[in-house]
Every structure is written in C-alpha cells, then in structure tokens.
Structure 1
Amino acid sequence: MIRVLISISCLWLVSLAVHAAQNAIDGVRVWPSPGSTRVVLDLEQAPEFTYFTLSNPERLVIDLANTSDSADLPAIDKSGELVRRVRYSTPKNNQSARVVIDMTRKASPNLFAMTPTKPYGHRLVIDLEDTVNSSSRNQSEVVKDSLSNQRDRDIIIAIDAGHGGEDPGSIGPSGTYEKHITLSVAKKLEARINREPGMRAIMTRSGDYYVSLNKRPAIARQQKADLLVSIHADAFHQPQPRGGSVWVLSTGRADTELGRWMERTEQHSQLLGGAAEVITDKASERYLAETILGLSMDHSMAASYDLSNKVIQELGKVTKMHKKRPQAASLAVLTAPDIPSILVEVGFISNPQEEKNLNWAAYRERLANSIFGAAKRYFRQVPPDGTLWAAQKERNRTHKVRSGESLSLLAQRYNVKVSSIKEANNLRNDVVQIGQVLTIPST
C-alpha cells in the first residue's frame, strides 16, 4: 500500500512539474503594413512549433508543443485587410496548443522565434507576405521621364520614419516611444513638401509597422527619389545629452562613442523588427558591400554632406545642436547608391526636457519645417535634371550689382519680388555689394 501511495505521489509530482514547465501565450499583436502583415505571439518560454496552411477558406495553422491554450486570445482591432482573426482550434494532444490565423486571401508565411529583447520577452513572429501587393494600389509610380509627362517632373523626397511596429525605438523617461515621434514629424514634413510646387514626398512607412533597414532605401530607389531623409529621435544611456544632429554614411567604423551607440541601436532594431531578413537574406550583404564600394556613392555622399550642413543651420534655429557638424556612421538606411541620404536626429528622447518638447505638436511642426527649409535651399541651388526647378533655373537671369542699386530697385526693374531674389540667392538680409552677381528668378 505504501509503495502504491509513493508511486501515485511521484506521478502526481511529475505531472505537476510537467504542467509547471508548460509554455503559455501571454498576448497577440498584429502589425499590418502595405505589403505584408506581422502577427506576434508573446510567450513565457521559447516556442517549439510546426505549421501548415489550409485553403477554402485561407488559414495558417500553428501547433505549439507543450503549450497551454487556457489564456484568452484578445480580439484584434487593427488587423488590416489580410488577417480576419486569430483563434484556437482543437490541438493535436492535451499538452499542445493549436492557433489558427484566418485570412481573407492567400499569403506566404514565414515563421521564426525571437529571444527576449527589451521591451519584449519570448516571441513567435509570423510574417504573412500578401499575394496582392497593396503598396502598388496605394502608391502610384513616380514619373521621371519628362518626355512621357506633360510638364517637368517633381523633385521626389523619400521620408523615412525610423523604427515602427514591433520595434518601438528608444523609449523616453515618461514612456514616449520614438516610433510615434518619428512618424509624426515625417507626416508633417510630407505635408509641407507636398504643398510646395515642384516637390513631392513619398513615405517608406505611413503607419505603425516595421520596414526592414535594407528595404527603406530600396523603397526610395523604387520610387525614383532624389533624396532620402530618415527621421529619428536620439537616445543615450545617460539622461544629460540633448540637442539635434545630422548623420551621413561612413564606409568605416564610427569615430565617436555616440556613433558606435547608434550603430548598435540599428542592429538592435534589426533584431526587434526584421530578424527573419537578417537570418535569411544573404544577398543583402552583397548588395550593401557593392553599393558602399560603388563609384556612384562618391557623388551621393558629397551631396549628403552639403545638404546635412544646411539642415544643421536650419535645425539650429529650432533646437540646440548636439553636434554642429555632420557626423558619420555605418548605417544601413543611408546606403542607397545613387540617392543623397541623411539621418536627422531631432533631439534626445532620453533627455526629460527634450522628451516633453517632442511630445508638443507645434514643436514637431517646427522641426519638420526646418528640415524642409534646408531641402528647399539645397535643391534651389542644384535641382536635379528634368525637374521643374531645373527648368526654372535655366530661365533665370543674372545681374551684376552696380553702384546705387538695391534689391528693391532690381525687383522693380525685373518685375519680381524682393523675397524671390533673396530666396534665389540665399540672402539673409537686403544688403548687396557692388560687383555681386545675383540670380534673377523668372516672373
């Protein structure tokens, strides 16, 4: 009898141990984007899983070994057009859980596990590549060939809002997510650019979803952009640093502690939001190596440096500059071979005061306007061939200032505004010098 009791007790203890070690689903998050949808299962432990697809209707079935299905799966509010719901189904056995993702149409799945990376724990990430490329429905192709267009084309500026979706970026002392600040500034910059005749903005992301670091410059190239501006909010492991900075591509290792910190942060973002591509996309490594070494990078890097100086001048009117010269780091988002690219840090979200500033909509508007002002100054000087601004510059006249002449006199003579002459020549006041050659804009 005693032996029987001991055996039962041992079995009961083993059962408890197995039950205690069983994994559990803590939550479900869905991140829809134009070309794909990401579903994330938050788990207590690393998952063991298998999966298969079913049709009519379209479903993805995931079996999680040694996992409880007792926790409720929350209703998904913003699942996008592809995912209808996430639910449980009858598991293979009592020790496993079966999760089913109901879809509106066929999708190509890619599943991978992720180890804990703050602010998240263990995760099973399910990327569903949409068979219907909605990005082609939402974004029209940019026309660059002026022969196929009735007018000179617009200057295209690609705006990249840093982080997004699964990757929150840096988190401020009060809990502000960098990804929300960057998207807000990016949208304000987009609106300002689109109000300017002869300019047009495109976004690498327009909502709260993750775009891999290699895809961001690829989107700019696909849309034939003339410039890529990546918006970020800086952070450091101490709260004291503050102010804005502008970064350009370095083909070597960053030469400052902050630059090395940024490079590590970018790798962290890849792990948070794009681990599948880091694991599987070996071609991207060859692409980056080729583009960095490509001769076309020379022009792009020189143009990026020139533009970054103008951004520093304009941004300095809004906020204190942490660095008053362009900084260099090896950042994947800046590696488009034929597009000038800069990364703008609009402030330190890790600084309590700057976090408050960045949460102020009017302040973000001023930041966007300063970046726009710098881009406008740059392209007025060197407009890309085939653009409306290039055609306007060709029609502009020049005038050599003589004794007794002033801006107001020249404006009357050429029937243009004083402000137009100042803008065409980057003049900050009304003073002109004898012998100075001025560009007179067309009427």
Structure 2
Amino acid sequence: MRRYWKVLFIFGLQLLAASVHAEQINVNALRYWNTPDQTQMLFDVTSSPEHRVFLMNNPSRLVIDMRNVNVKRALSQPAPSHPLFSQVRVAAKNNTDIRIVVDLKKDISPKSMSLRTNSMNGRLVVELLGKAQDATVKIAEKEEPRITADKMSTVKVSDVKPVVEKVVKEESQKTVNRKVAAAPVEVTKVAKRDKDIVVAVDAGHGGDDPGAHGQNGTEEKKITLAIAKKLADLINEQPGMKAVMVRKGDYYVDLRKRMQIARAAKADLFISIHADAFQDATVKGASVFTLSNKGATSEAARWLADSENAADLVGGVSLNDKEDVLASVLLDLSQTATQDASVNVARKVLRNFEQIGELHYASVQKAGFLVLKSPDVPSILVETAFISNPSEELKLINTAHQSKIAGAIFNGVRSYFSKEIPTESKVAVLDM
C-alpha cells in the first residue's frame, strides 16, 4: 500500500511539473534605449524565459531565441533614426518557442561589440556593448571569495606585516623613481601637480527607470539630471577640477556600471544625486549617505573572488600577483581610507545643505547602496529633498533652487579638496 501511494505521489509531481511547463511566458512589449556606448532592447515579460542571443552575418542580424514564450501583441519597431536596428521580425518555433530576428544597419562582430543579457523584475534586457567600453566595466559574477573568514582567522598580523611592508616599500620606490627627473613642485597655498581633480557626477535613475514621482507628476530622473548638469558646470569652472557625467541624457545606466565609469575616469570622488520619496507627504529634508561597513565587506568578498577585479588596481597596487591574505589586507586598507574620505566629504556637503533648507538627517547616514561600493573612489549619495513632499517638489522643479542645491554640493566638495589634495593633482588656490 505504501508503494502505491509513493508511485501516485511521484506521478502527481510529474503532472504538476508538466502543467507548470505548459504555462507559457508572455512577452507583452518591446522598448529600445540607446546610450553613448551601448544599445538595449527591453522585453516586458511575465517571468524570465530561457533564451540565447547571437549574431549572424550576410546580412547582419541579431538573433534572440526564447523557449516556452508567447508574444501577446505585435512588437514595436525601432525608430527609423535608430543608429543600429533596422527592423524586428518574430517567428514561431515548435509551437512553444519563438525566434526574434533584428536586422542591423551595419556589420558588427564579436571583436567590435559584445552581447550581454540581464533578466529581472519582469524584464529581459539584451545589450550590445562596444568592446572598448566593455573592457573597462566587465565584472564576472561569482559567489564565493578566494579567501574565507575561517582562513583569515588563522592569520597572524606578524605573518602579514613583513609582506605588506615589502609591497609598500616596493611601490614607494617606484614612485620615487618616477619623480627623480621631475621638476621641483611649485607651491602656492597648495601644491600644483600634474592632473585635474576628477569628480564623477551621477544623476540617479534615467531612461525606463523614472525613479520617484511627485504628487504633481514630477519625475526624479529629470530633477537629478538637471541638478547634476549644474553641479558639473560649477566643477568645470573651478581651475584644477574636472567633472565627468555618468549619464548625459535620459537613458538608464546599470548601477554597478556607474561606479565603474567613475573608476575608468580615475575619479577622485563620486557623487550620486537623488530625490527621496516617502508615503507620508509631510516628510522633508536633505540627507547624505556613505557606504555601510556591511556593504564594504560584501564588496571586498566580490573583488577577492574575481580574477578580473584582482588584476585591477586598488589604491595604486595591483592585486593579481599577491597572496590571498595580502590581497585581502591591501584591499581592506584601500577601503578603509576610501570610507574615511567619503565620510569627510559627506559631512562638508551636509553642512552646506543647512544653509539652503531643512535636513532630514542631521548627520551622515550609512547604507549599502551599490553605487557607493567602489573600493578606491570616495563616494557619497545625496538625497536632495523629498519629491513626495508637495512644497519640496515645487522647489525641485525651480531652476534657481536647483542651482542652490548644486552650489551646496559644490561648496562642500571644494571645502574638502582645499585640505585633502589627491596625489599628483593640480589645484589652483581654492578661495573659500
């Protein structure tokens, strides 16, 4: 009798699996987005489909195969002005699968562009990325670090210290050798050096991610871009400083890629601009965030787990030829210095916000925001106001108040860099 029920149970599971498999995934819509270095197709889907994407030549086509998928309505076509896509065709396969063929306006190859897909939150995103840009931002996904907490607990400081001192000595000697032939440093109030201070300015959200909405329909993505442009103008007007806009228009940039763009630009500071929202419309005020210790720990594990990251530079020292423990120590030193600098600049920015409006938090806050996780670029996130508050929404859409917000951020940044000059930077005297 027990065997009978066991067979019946297994049979029931098979029927359930078959019914789940038979329930097709719906593709409800297709949208297109372009950025300076990538082209995206965004499929609205009811759940993540199994898929494969590849390129074909003669003629040039992008092919997307999806399993167990149904297209509910005709997919939208790319605009005639689209730089790469000509038209999109859909064909059924095996009564359950579909093939989407995108005719391309020019020949591309794996050498010139790379393909990437991302499936989450009811979207399947297919991206074509230029190889030059992709090389600076590609990060492999792995779950476990090379070095575990158990291994770290067995390491003595006395064992690591001589190796760290050796690496620091070697890197210092390299720096000395590079500077032997250099001309004497000219000194005014601060030393003038070889490069501009670079500030990466990140306008939150963008493209199909509008961010929060005000009661009058104001979109956060538009406010953040307007303030970011004003802040960039102030930075570029300051001798010895240069702004790099993470996004320059209304398109979405992946959160991790935002900090990678900053690192690729060798930024000395990363500023992400947002406008907060809450269910209670009376809540108001500005806030400034830096990375939490938990967020830093998780990012350290990711870097140490990834051979591509390990080959990169952290604090000017390459990790790819270092022992696991030493790499972990060097990364920790870099992160600690970065977090200290982030808190320092965040305090100065927050102090300047007191002069233009209310503060939601009177002290610097810590959170695990992904855009703040660069281990060697000091990073802050500024919540300029609550767009969900009607009075603050009106201020946020006012260009004069946007300029005040940009000015408050800039004055905090300028105050920080007047005392903390990055190595090899050239800075004119900062009039305070």
Same fold (TM over 0.5): yes
Which blocks of at least 5 consecutive residues in structure 2 are unaligned? 1-21, 137-177, 184-191, 297-301, 315-326
**For residue 40 of structure 1, what is the amino acid of its counterpart?**
L
1:249 Cα shift?
1.9
SS class of match (1:100): strand
User: Higher relative contact order at CA 8 Å, sep ≥6: structure 1 or structure 2?
Assistant: 2
SS class of match (2:294): coil
The residue that corresponds to 2:129 in the other structure is 129
CA separation of 1:102/1:224 partners in 2, compared to 1, >3 Å: closer, same or farther? same
The residue that corresponds to 1:314 in the other structure is 352
The residue that corresponds to 2:235 in the other structure is 193
1:353 Cα shift?
2.4
The residue that corresponds to 2:115 in the other structure is 109
1:200-221 C-alpha deviation (Å, 9 max, x unpaired): 1012222333333333222222
Of the candidates 299, 303, 306, which is equivalent to residue 283 of structure 1? 306
The residue that corresponds to 2:397 in the other structure is 359
1:160-208 C-alpha deviation (Å, 9 max, x unpaired): 1222334333333333332222222111111121122211101222233
On the 8 A contact 1:66/1:96 being kept in 2, the answer is: yes
CA separation of 1:338/1:80 partners in 2, compared to 1, >3 Å: closer, same or farther? farther
The residue that corresponds to 1:202 in the other structure is 244
In the alignment, the residues of structure 2 paired with residue 159 and residue 226 of structure 1 have an alpha-carbon distance, to the nearest angstrom, of: 11
1:45-102 C-alpha deviation (Å, 9 max, x unpaired): 6545444431123212223455555733334349763x32341144335665432223
**Matched positions, count:** 337
On the 8 A contact 1:249/1:330 being kept in 2, the answer is: yes
CA separation of 1:310/1:45 partners in 2, compared to 1, >3 Å: closer, same or farther? closer
**For residue 376 of structure 1, what is the amino acid of its counterpart?**
R
1:239 Cα shift?
2.4
Identity among equivalent pairs (%): 40
1:251 Cα shift?
0.4
Of the candidates 360, 369, 375, which is equivalent to residue 331 of structure 1? 369
In the alignment, the residues of structure 2 paired with residue 78 and residue 193 of structure 1 have an alpha-carbon distance, to the nearest angstrom, of: 37
In the alignment, the residues of structure 1 paired with residue 421 and residue 211 of structure 2 have an alpha-carbon distance, to the nearest angstrom, of: 34
In the alignment, the residues of structure 2 paired with residue 157 and residue 78 of structure 1 have an alpha-carbon distance, to the nearest angstrom, of: 37
On the 8 A contact 1:25/1:43 being kept in 2, the answer is: yes
Of the candidates 171, 195, 217, which is equivalent to residue 153 of structure 1? 195
The residue that corresponds to 2:294 in the other structure is 252
On the 8 A contact 1:214/1:284 being kept in 2, the answer is: no
Which blocks of at least 5 consecutive residues in structure 1 are unaligned? 1-19, 116-121, 137-144, 255-278, 394-422, 427-443
The residue that corresponds to 1:33 in the other structure is 35
On the 8 A contact 2:93/2:99 being kept in 1, the answer is: yes
Aligned-pair Cα RMSD in Å:
3.9
| TM-score normalised by the chain length of structure 1 | 0.65
Q: Please tell me whether Structure 1 or Structure 2 has the larger radius of gyration of its CA atoms.
A: 1
The residue that corresponds to 2:221 in the other structure is 179
CA separation of 1:374/1:292 partners in 2, compared to 1, >3 Å: closer, same or farther? farther
In the alignment, the residues of structure 2 paired with residue 52 and residue 297 of structure 1 have an alpha-carbon distance, to the nearest angstrom, of: 39
Of the candidates 60, 71, 74, which is equivalent to residue 72 of structure 1? 74
Q: Structure 2 matches for 1:290-305, cutoff 5 A?
A: 294-305=332-343
| TM-score normalised by the chain length of structure 2 | 0.66
**For residue 348 of structure 2, what is the amino acid of its counterpart?**
K
1:371 Cα shift?
0.9
In the alignment, the residues of structure 1 paired with residue 65 and residue 342 of structure 2 have an alpha-carbon distance, to the nearest angstrom, of: 49
Asked if 1:387 corresponds to 2:414, the answer is no
The residue that corresponds to 1:88 in the other structure is 89
In the alignment, the residues of structure 1 paired with residue 258 and residue 98 of structure 2 have an alpha-carbon distance, to the nearest angstrom, of: 36
SS class of match (2:283): coil
In the alignment, the residues of structure 2 paired with residue 190 and residue 40 of structure 1 have an alpha-carbon distance, to the nearest angstrom, of: 30
On the 8 A contact 1:153/1:387 being kept in 2, the answer is: yes
